[in-house]
A = this chain, B = another copy of it.
Amino acid sequence: MTQALASALRLARGRRDTSLSELCDFLRIPSVSSDPSRRGDVARAAEWLAVRLRALGAERVAVHPTGGHPIVCGEVAAAGGSRPTVLVYGHYDVQPVSAVDDWETGPFEPEIRGDGLRARGASDNKGPMIACVAAVEAVLASGTMPVNVRFLFEGEEEIGSVHFRAFLEGHRELCACDLALNTDVGMLEEHSPTIYYGLRGLYRARLRVRGPSRDLHSGGYGGVVENPIHVLSELVAGMHDGDGRITLPGFYDSVRPMSSEERREMASLPRDDAAYLRDSGAPALWGEPGYIAAEREGARPALDIIHTFAGSEKASIPAEAEAIVTVRLVPDQAPDEVHAQLTRYLGDRAPATVRWEIGDSSGSPAFLADRNAPGVRAMARAMRSVWERDPVFYRSGGSIAAVGSIREVLGVDSVLTGFSLPGDRVHGPNERLHIPTWERGIDAVIRFLFCLSEEPAFARADGVAAPGCSA
């Protein structure tokens, strides 16, 4: 270990309680991006971040307005122009709080229980973001910046990163970098540091079925007019066959098969079907036959209705029924292609008793990264040092629009990792952050920055040895 690295690790440890307390302040801001009444809170979280970045010594810190929630930028360019630049991505917005009664603590009143920090956003993504901030702060305080860092924190990840891509397109110089670091995914388990080399894409749309021109008394019309709830139910039910395969016409045509090597690797992941079953709390697993759960999550597509709403307590046949359909995509499925398949499916199946429409459709394709890229190698070395074991390479079933946008607009890939655990209840009630893992995460990011500078691809033109991670 170099002296500079040792010093940075020591400084971060010394600041641990302060960093945790700062994270709690951040978590107290209910930055729910999907809730218009929380607009002011989202803006407050952005301001909080800007203050935090300035405090650690970042320059060019600014809260950039967008058509929606702002984007916060800042940079630490102390390593100089000949050194590589890492773009540290994060999102400061959080999911809404549903099932309020199921929360054991106030969602925006962070509370430490055992080794967990309870709060909405603790794991997704405020905790990991603040780990990156604390790491850069410690490295800068050590007096030796091995690489340059740019921060890019958005406030719309949980609502589909609506304005993120346009922001990148308008700020290419501000965001220029050699690679990105994204800690918005998690670890397979406490002792398995994890690097994600894949993400599923996401197609999303609102599906509406209209029957009668108004709500009808269900006494006067029950048995006479087809109920849009029944029609929607039939359409939804028909989207899977009895085995769990998706029935949209041609749906699997462009799904890229896994190699047998990848399937072997997936079969030996530390997360087997029993772990999925335990973590989900479901009575049984389910899905496409012939694939284990890890494959179905990361490498096979999935269709889910995430929301359905129709009618009311009053005894009526409702005029319409609505659902939000999402499809998690894998290479080489295109969102437009799935939109066309869904349209064809509805055209083929919807009965003449209703009219239907698809609205608000959006989509982004899946992501597969090179597992031999310098960033991935540097993160693997850093993780090996912290956890004393090789990281697991994983394909995530989630979707992060920013990863695709950064690839397409800035031309760089993201090192995808994170410090949340499967039991952290991301998006659900009682979200928490496992504090010891979060602390290891700070160490890992510090080491990553130093290891990165040793990567041959980033060798200095002048041949002067970079401040690295090895002695």
Contacts of A95 in B (CB 8 A): 314
Let me know if A152 is at the binding interface, CB within 8 A.
no
Most chain B CB within a 10 A radius of its CB, from A158, A284, A306, A425: A306
A316 and B428 form a contact (CB under 8 A): yes
Chain B residue nearest to A426 (CB atoms) is: B217
A427 and B217 form a contact (CB under 8 A): yes
Most chain B CB within a 10 A radius of its CB, from A219, A232, A281, A301: A219
Check A315/B308 contact, CB under 8 A, given A216-B428, A223-B397, A280-B224.
no
The CA-CA distance from A323 to B427 in the complex, in Å, is 24
Chain B residue nearest to A309 (CB atoms) is: B309
Q: Which listed residue (B232, B280, B316) contacts A212, Cβ 8 A?
A: B280
A316 and B427 form a contact (CB under 8 A): yes
Let me know if A460 is at the binding interface, CB within 8 A.
no
Contacts of A64 in B (CB 8 A): none
Contacts of A233 in B (CB 8 A): 232-234, 236-237, 305, 308
Q: Which listed residue (B306, B319, B354) contacts A318, Cβ 8 A?
A: B306
B219 and A399 form a contact (CB under 8 A): yes
Contacts of A297 in B (CB 8 A): 219-224
Closest CB in chain B relative to A422 CB, distance in Å = 8
Closest CB in chain B relative to A162 CB, distance in Å = 13
Contacts of A352 in B (CB 8 A): 283-284
Let me know if A140 is at the binding interface, CB within 8 A.
no
A220 and B398 form a contact (CB under 8 A): yes
The CA-CA distance from A11 to B321 in the complex, in Å, is 50
Contacts of A222 in B (CB 8 A): 200, 297, 302-304, 326, 328, 397
Contacts of A281 in B (CB 8 A): 212-214
Per-residue 0/1 for A233-255: is the Cβ within 8 Å of any B Cβ (1 yes, 0 no)?
Answer: 11011111000100000000000
Chain B residue nearest to A296 (CB atoms) is: B223
Let me know if A276 is at the binding interface, CB within 8 A.
yes
Within 8 A of B (CB), among A319-375: 319, 321, 323-324, 326, 328, 351-355
The CA-CA distance from A311 to B305 in the complex, in Å, is 8
Within 8 A of B (CB), among A124-167: 158
Let me know if A381 is at the binding interface, CB within 8 A.
no
Check A158/B102 contact, CB under 8 A, given A219-B328, A224-B293, A397-B219.
no
Closest CB in chain B relative to A33 CB, distance in Å = 11
Closest CB in chain B relative to A268 CB, distance in Å = 18
Contacts of A429 in B (CB 8 A): 214-215
A215 and B398 form a contact (CB under 8 A): no
B397 and A328 form a contact (CB under 8 A): no
Most chain B CB within a 10 A radius of its CB, from A224, A237, A311, A315: A224
A215 and B99 form a contact (CB under 8 A): yes
The CA-CA distance from A227 to B324 in the complex, in Å, is 13
Contacts of A276 in B (CB 8 A): 221, 224-225
Closest CB in chain B relative to A395 CB, distance in Å = 11
Q: Which 5 A-B pairs have the closest CB atoms?
A: A213-B281, A219-B398, A223-B302, A222-B302, A226-B286
10 A-B pairs, CB-CB below 8 angstroms? A215-B427, A215-B428, A216-B280, A217-B398, A218-B302, A224-B287, A224-B397, A225-B280, A225-B282, A230-B304
